[in-house]
Amino acid sequence: MGKSRGSIAFFGTYRPPVPLDIFSCPANPPPQSAKDELLLTDGESYNQNGQPIPAAALKELLTFLGKKNPKLASECGATPEDAEKGRVTGLVFVSERDRGLETLHVALRFVAGGKQVKVLSLGNIYGADTFGGVRMEDSGCVAGGFKVGRTTVGHSLVYVSTKAPVKARRTPWTVVYRTDLADGKTERLTPLGQYDLSPAVSPSGKMVAVANFQQNRWNGEIENLKTDIVVMNVDKRAQGRSDRKVLIKDGGWPTWGSDNVIFFHRGFDTTPPSNTARWGVFRFDIAAGKEERVTDESIDAMTPAAIRETQVAVATVREKSKQVLMKVERVVTQYRHIEIFDTASKTSVPITQKTRPEGDHYNPFVLDGGTRVGYHRCRTDKLLKVQNQKSTPTTSIQRRFDKVQPPESHADVGLFRVTGVFPSVSKNGKKLAFVDNEFKAVWLADGRGLRVVYKVRATKSVFSTSWNQNDDLDTLYVCEGPAFSIDKPVQIMRIPNVSREDYENMETFPLTDEEYNCAFPSTNAEGTKLVFRSSRNRVAGGERQHKNLYIIDAEKGEAAGVVPLTDGPWTDTHCSWSPREGCDWIVFSSTGRPEKDIVKGKDEPEKDHGLDPGYFAVYLVNAKDIKKGEVPVPVRVIHSAPTIAGHINHPVFSPDMKSIVFAADLAAVSADPISMPHFTHSVRPYGDIFSVNLRDTTDMAKNRDIQEFHRITHSRYEYSTPTWTGIADDEEDPNAKWKMLESLPNFTPWCPYACGEAGEKEGADCSAACSAGACILHSDRSSPLLSHLRTPGALLRDAGRDREPRRPALCPHTRNPDGSDAGAANDG
């Protein structure tokens, strides 16, 4: 059954294109090779952030399952007695297998019979009332299993969920809940008006420690969240009270070594615009009130997992990489590895350096009483098998569409996550275009398959695809210019007949002069006019960095004249024309425009974290009948916050013009950024897709400052650059419809990520991922690197093209090729 309002597609900025999965290794003695590594899930989907379920707790869960859903209990093949006797073990973890949502699941591992793994969703066990709807879940751990007097407190699952809407803007939705494993009853542990991350349960099961946002708010931190460690009782009714209190100032990711000892990590900010911190792990003795540093200041250490009072497993990066500046490969000490630190002997034992020396490992946890250590990493064995022209077998990143469950507010809209930067879908929904992560090639997917239709060379880059709204013209617009240079020229290029069969002979035509920095083109519904933003200076005494909107002929370009649409010493960008014929409304994102409720402080920095001017909001402007020498007055539709940290970007209309969809920071962050596999120079570790419903589609003024918004996605990653097509979400798999998963016989990747097996190299070069529009493999945020940088002299191996030396790949998580910040939140 189709969706009546079409489909929204978007790009997941930080989500690795190769699946994450959960593994474990022996801790004592430590592993000696990759053969010592054990997969803990069934290998399906993306899996991360695991924690073991104690046998007694698993028995309660399976008992409830047998009563609530006997059929599923029979199918899973595990009984309460199996849990009690140790014949089956349990692991709670985050997986994306439930319609693209990041939600909690349970892996049942059968000790006998080849150690088979069966995965169940918590929704299937405890019902959709608690574990249903669009939300993100994280940090599952087990509490309870103790007595208070004669009262026995059963086991419960403690976890983070974003299921409860928050009306306040730029406020986290992350709340800690507790669900009783014996009866499914659920209560909120985080007080109303407060927001928590990373819950951890004490060994006795009586207390929970969380990372609580300082002053109950988020102030736009990019890497180092400002949180305190707060502790509270698990069951306030049985234990008499919650007894919630701040225990440690300025700390995150708590883990209990005993009921008296907590380990945690702490970041020490460096100066913008790097937006990075140095990280260390600390130990806090509650009874003594004593804090001590566990890891040396010379290394970065984060996401601890306590084994006992004096031992803790930690993710470390022992040496900063110079990969960005010197274009060199990382060495083993520059990868994120798991180590065990002993605070008594002041020694450490490496765990993953022998199993996968040149790979990154994340978020350790402890199993089997400390005899094994778990973690998650990417799986390069999940890559596609490809034959090149020389019949040499190799591998490539899978390019695909992922269907994602929409919220009830958008039940009539299809939702898709795209592997590719700046995705755009033609108005008839038959063609998808996107840019690779090198910003060197434009890819087109349609009924004939997936192919490169445009490629730039030398110092130029390409970004921001946009289709002419008149499908008969079969015209695609892209932006071409040098990278990281806000004052360098960027041109808008027109590619007519872009879906032609002889795409090797594709012609392109520049629409804008080389003198200016021009980007983000969008045509009117008739396909005759094109709006774009440009850095040309028309402000008396102004600076070139200011950008405004202009209109030109969609075919002839500037040669037929340029009409100014906006004017002022600010940045107007991310413009999109109405899809309705005869309507000249244009939606765009803007920063710096004077508004009554926007008051800049005297001591406020010029840029938010050194990246951009901030204050991004969404505006509407009418381009109809513009008189010479005049510019129309825009109407502000929605803003994030009246501060420099507010960001709402990349707005586009719905096909029926009833709504505007955009990427924004309205829900702050949903996970600790340092725990995620993304780049040091990533712009921002947050951003989801939101929408507002217009009050009126004929009177623009009635749409000023809309208060209600709808959150469409819930993710730890940054979701950005949405596009909305009128074609319904039918039952056909879009990967099959557009042949997204077919191998390309003329493509040979030069990529250790793509070519290596477990234990082999990761991170020196990722042309396969970049060409797939998805190169964000395993990069570590704690060291200044981009893992997909080219090594010197590497060659472009795309058959049928002239070969040329590779240059460092451009990262969409740093800045756009026009010099602006990429992702949901920025345009410099």
Q: Is the pLDDT of residue 486 over 60?
A: yes
**Helices and strands in the chain, H and E counts:** 8, 52
SS3 822: coil
Sign of the CA dihedral 310, 313, 319, 325? negative
Tell me which of 737, 756, 785 is where a domain ends: 737
pLDDT digits (tens, 9 = 90+) for 357-408: 988 999 999 999 999 999 999 887 766 665 555 555 555 566 667 899 999 9
Tell me which of 370, 392, 423 is where a domain ends: 370
One domain for residues 407 and 307? no
Integer CA distances (angstroms), 286 to 141, 201, 205, 246, 340, in order: 21, 15, 17, 12, 22
pLDDT digits (tens, 9 = 90+) for 781-816: 333 222 332 222 222 222 222 222 233 333 333 333
One domain for residues 325 and 433? no
> Rounded CA gap, 89 and 778, in Å?
29
One domain for residues 298 and 433? no
Q: Which of 294, 19, 254 is nearest to 141 (CA)?
A: 254
One domain for residues 303 and 433? no
CB-based contact 667:685 (threshold 8 Å)? no
In sequence order, the 6+-apart residues with CB closer than 8 A to the CB of 733 are none
Q: Which of 202, 154, 151, 201 is nearest to 179 (CA)?
A: 154
What confidence category does residue 620 fall into, taking pLDDT thresholds of 50, 70 and 90?
very high
Tell me which of 737, 752, 776 is where a domain ends: 737
> Rounded CA gap, 779 and 789, in Å?
11
- Total domains in the chain come to 2
> Rounded CA gap, 500 and 502, in Å?
6
Q: Which pTM does this prediction carry?
A: 0.89
Q: Who wins on pLDDT, 276 or 554?
A: 554
Weakest mean pLDDT among 178-187, 283-292, 327-336, 416-425: 327-336
**Strand-by-strand arrangement of the 196-201 sheet:** 196-201, 207-213, 227-233, 245-248
Q: Is the pLDDT of residue 755 over 80?
A: no
Maximum mean pLDDT: which of 150-159, 218-227, 744-753: 150-159
> Rounded CA gap, 126 and 118, in Å?
17
| Lookup result for tokens 């800690």 | 176
Q: Around Cβ 38, how many Cβ atoms within 10 Å?
A: 16
CB-based contact 174:670 (threshold 8 Å)? yes
Q: Is residue 123 part of a domain?
A: no
> Rounded CA gap, 220 and 199, in Å?
22
What confidence category does residue 327 fall into, taking pLDDT thresholds of 50, 70 and 90?
very low
What confidence category does residue 280 fall into, taking pLDDT thresholds of 50, 70 and 90?
very high
Q: Which of 203, 217, 92 is nearest to 157 (CA)?
A: 92
Q: Is the pLDDT of residue 644 over 80?
A: no
Helical segments of 626-729, H only: none
- What is the pLDDT, as a whole number, of residue 219? 84
Q: What are the φ/ψ torsions at residue 456 (nearest 5 degrees)?
A: -100, 165
Integer CA distances (angstroms), 526 to 469, 591, 657, in order: 7, 29, 16
> Rounded CA gap, 228 and 251, in Å?
5
What confidence category does residue 750 fall into, taking pLDDT thresholds of 50, 70 and 90?
very low
> Rounded CA gap, 623 and 640, in Å?
25
SS3 687: coil
- What is the pLDDT, as a whole number, of residue 94? 98
Q: Who wins on pLDDT, 167 or 483?
A: 167
Q: Is residue 617 part of a domain?
A: yes
Question: Which three-class secondary structure string do you get for 343-356?
Answer: CCCCEEEECCCCCC
Weakest mean pLDDT among 188-192, 578-582, 593-597, 673-677: 593-597
One domain for residues 564 and 711? yes
Q: Is residue 460 part of a domain?
A: yes
Weakest mean pLDDT among 618-622, 642-646, 737-741, 800-804: 800-804
Q: Around Cβ 32, how many Cβ atoms within 10 Å?
A: 11
CB-based contact 662:691 (threshold 8 Å)? yes
CB-based contact 514:491 (threshold 8 Å)? yes
DSSP structure string for 541-581: T--TT-BEEEEEETTTBGGG--EE---SSSEEEEEEE-SST
- What is the pLDDT, as a whole number, of residue 678? 60
Q: Is the pLDDT of residue 593 over 90?
A: no
Which tokens in the block code for residue 299?
Answer: 């290394």
SS3 247: strand
- CATH number of the structural domain spanning residue 691: 2.120.10.60
Q: Is residue 476 part of a domain?
A: yes
> Rounded CA gap, 51 and 141, in Å?
6
Rounded mean pLDDT, 549-575: 94
Q: Is residue 627 part of a domain?
A: yes
What confidence category does residue 201 fall into, taking pLDDT thresholds of 50, 70 and 90?
very high
Integer CA distances (angstroms), 169 to 73, 162, 193, 447, 522, in order: 42, 14, 13, 41, 29
- What is the pLDDT, as a whole number, of residue 392? 58
Q: Is residue 729 part of a domain?
A: yes
In sequence order, the 6+-apart residues with CB closer than 8 A to the CB of 42 are 107, 117, 118, 119
**CA angle, 810 then 813 then 814, to 5°:** 65
- What is the pLDDT, as a whole number, of residue 777? 36
Q: Is the pLDDT of residue 188 over 90?
A: yes
Q: Is residue 542 part of a domain?
A: yes
Rounded mean pLDDT, 667-675: 94
In sequence order, the 6+-apart residues with CB closer than 8 A to the CB of 559 are 553
In sequence order, the 6+-apart residues with CB closer than 8 A to the CB of 594 are none
Q: Is residue 233 part of a domain?
A: no
Mean pLDDT over all residues of the chain?
A: 83
Q: Is the pLDDT of residue 125 over 90?
A: yes
- Long-range Cβ contact pairs of 269-273 (< 8 A, separation 24 or more): 269/224, 271/610, 272/605, 272/607, 272/609, 272/610, 272/611, 273/607, 273/609, 273/610, 273/611
**How would you classify the pairing of strands 710-711 and 347-350?**
unpaired
One domain for residues 720 and 666? yes
Q: Is the pLDDT of residue 747 over 50?
A: no
One domain for residues 668 and 580? yes
Side chain identity at 329, as an amino acid letter? Answer: E
| Lookup result for tokens 């060379």 | 457
One domain for residues 676 and 553? yes
One domain for residues 551 and 660? yes
One domain for residues 433 and 326? no
One domain for residues 542 and 661? yes
Residue range of the domain that includes 415: 402-600+608-737
Helix (H) or strand (E) holding 585: strand 585-591
- What is the pLDDT, as a whole number, of residue 457? 73
- What is the pLDDT, as a whole number, of residue 447? 84
One domain for residues 439 and 323? no
> Rounded CA gap, 492 and 591, in Å?
22
> Rounded CA gap, 351 and 30, in Å?
6
Which tokens in the block code for residue 204?
Answer: 């006795």
What confidence category does residue 822 fall into, taking pLDDT thresholds of 50, 70 and 90?
very low
Strands (E), 111-220: 117-121, 137-143, 146-148, 151-153, 156-161, 175-180, 186-188, 196-201, 207-213
pLDDT digits (tens, 9 = 90+) for 66-121: 999 999 999 999 999 999 999 999 999 999 999 999 999 999 999 886 678 999 99
